[in-house]
Amino acid sequence: MTQVDLYFSVGDVLHAAEYCSFRNELEALHSVLSLIDNRIMSCENMLAVLQVLRKSTLDLIYELGSKIRYETTIFENINVDREKRLLQWGQSNGVGAKLYLAYVQGAGRGAIAREDLKVGDIALDIPVSVIISEDVVYESDMFTILENINGISSDTMLLLWSMKEKHNGDSRFRVYFDTLPEAFNTGLSFGIDAIMALDGTLLLEEIVQAKEHLRLQYDALFPSLLSDHPDIFPPELYSWEQFLWACELWYSNGMKVMFPDGKLRTCLIPIAGFLNHSVCPHIIHYGKVDSTTKSLKFPLSRPCKAGEQCFLSYGHLSDSHLVTFYGFLTQGDNSNDVIPLDIDVAQGDSLKDGSLMSNWTSYMVRGTWLSKNHGIFHYGLPSPLLDELRRSRNPLFRTITDTHVNLEIELEILDDLRSTFEDMIETLASPDDREHCCWDVNLALEFKDLQRRIISSIVASCYAGSKLVEQELCKCKNLGSYSYFSNEQHP
């Protein structure tokens, strides 16, 4: 489980058995399957029991996958000659592929299963020899210059290498570079209108900061590299726009790979670079070179039918990260989409002027449709946040399960949260007419829609929660009390 999932599952013991993210569930079932497979390989007895367990685990994986069906529309009429050439080049260099490449709706190119693929089948097997890693820089003429630049990372060296190699007609990776798009269209390329459209979201700051960071990196290298070594760094290949193109290439296509020497390197992986991301992926375990075959394998963790698009998980990434560095929003519920909420929990100790000491603490909130528990005292909202708000009003409060709950306080908390989030919604207005907007403004507005959907769900849950508490309060008032033990009243 990720930190985010742990945070949101705190206090939701009753519903802990239900999974909160598809990927986590698949990962858990996959770990069970690996354990069983290891036992089957190592022990001779109990084989029949282990086989039954294995079958049950596979059934659960199939059942999980069968709940998900994202239809991929494949555009058969778009020319994929360059992609086919890359696949042929790969195969002649030892790549094993059970996938073919095609244009798919909404995501450029994607990888499609050639045949029905089962759990454990290797969709792609990529020899290290075709992987682009820092080694290519060491072999190049720019290395002797770059190695003398104080503090330069191998990732930055690779950026500079790829800017030049893209134009090298004799490159060993020519067919790969030929398949790369002229523009990546990530958040890093947002124009001013799209940035303005993000007003009211934290993504605006995220993109501006990321771009400023890259600009500083660029300015630290250029123009000095160009004037000192114009033969190695031809100025026409090293403009800011080309630098940004290379950054987008590496952010959106780079994968971290663990090599047999134990070193983690950022790599470009021809052919595997066509796998699109999903929150319900088929492939979750990849990224470690098999030291026996000297290749990187992409095994399936759930089945993929012939003709279906085969998805990878790029990681536990939020949609704001995906927009900034990849240029798209996920389909389906992304449990990594959280709204940070910093609250000032004033301490009991007061300062000299008599004011209370402030103590800002960060909490998170996400779409309440992801929560299974909308009952009283939970409301679909995260328990760590609710408990902190309860403690700030009643220092004796410990947890909801063993504490005397004050219903008036519950109402206050829900009211405060609702008004905080209602204020946020007001800053998220966006135009209805988007027909003539550019790709970047459209993406910015879609992101804003997502934020509004999350915040609206929180506001709705606060309203619904208040209703529940008011009903309870009415009952208690009739009994002559404003509070009660939550665990006694709600077994």
Applying CB under 6 A, which residues contact ligand SAM?
A: 106-110, 252-253, 273-274, 276-278, 326-328
User: If you write DSSP's letter for every residue of 363-378 in order, what string do you get?
Assistant: EEEE-GGG-S--STTT
3-state secondary structure string across 41-82: HHCCCCHHHHHHHHHHHHHHHHHHHHCCCCCCCEECCCCCHH
Contacts of residue 99, Cβ cutoff 8 Å, sequence gap at least 6: 111, 112, 113, 114, 123, 124, 274, 310
Angle 391-393-398 from CA coordinates, rounded to 5°: 25
Question: What's the min distance (Å) between Cβ of 109 and ligand SAM?
Answer: 3
User: Shortest Cβ distance from residue 189 to ligand SAM (Å)?
Assistant: 11
Whichever of 185 and 466 has its CB closer to ligand SAM, that residue is: 185
DSSP secondary structure string for all residues of 257-288: EE-TTS-EEEEE-TTGGGPPB-SS-SB----B
In whole angstroms, the minimum distance from the beta carbon of 251 to ligand SAM comes to 8
C-beta of 322 vs 468, nearer to ligand SAM: 322
Residue nearer to ligand SAM on the CB measure, 278 or 295: 278
Residues linked to residue 406 through DSSP beta bridges, in sequence order: 483
Whose Cβ is closer to ligand SAM: residue 11's or residue 327's? 327
> Least Å distance between CB 395 and ligand SAM?
47
Residue 332 C-beta: closest distance to ligand SAM, Å? 9
* Structure token pair of residue 228: 């000192």
Q: Does the N-terminal peptide bond of residue 270 adopt cis geometry, omega within 30 degrees of 0?
A: no
* 253 vs 301, beta carbon nearer ligand SAM: 253
Is the CB of 107 or the CB of 428 nearer to ligand SAM?
107
Put residue 121 in one of left, alpha, beta given phi > 0 → left and psi -120 to 50 → alpha.
Answer: beta
Q: Which is nearer to ligand SAM, 245 or 397 (CB)?
A: 245
Give the integer Cα–Cα distance in Å for 128 and 136. 12
When the beta carbons of 252 and 461 are compared against ligand SAM, the nearer one is: 252
Nearest residue by C-beta to ligand SAM? 108
Question: What kind and span of H or E run contains 6?
Answer: helix 3-9
Q: Which of 392, 372, 391 lies closest to 461, judged by CA?
A: 372
Closest CA to 251 of 328, 178, 309, 304: 328
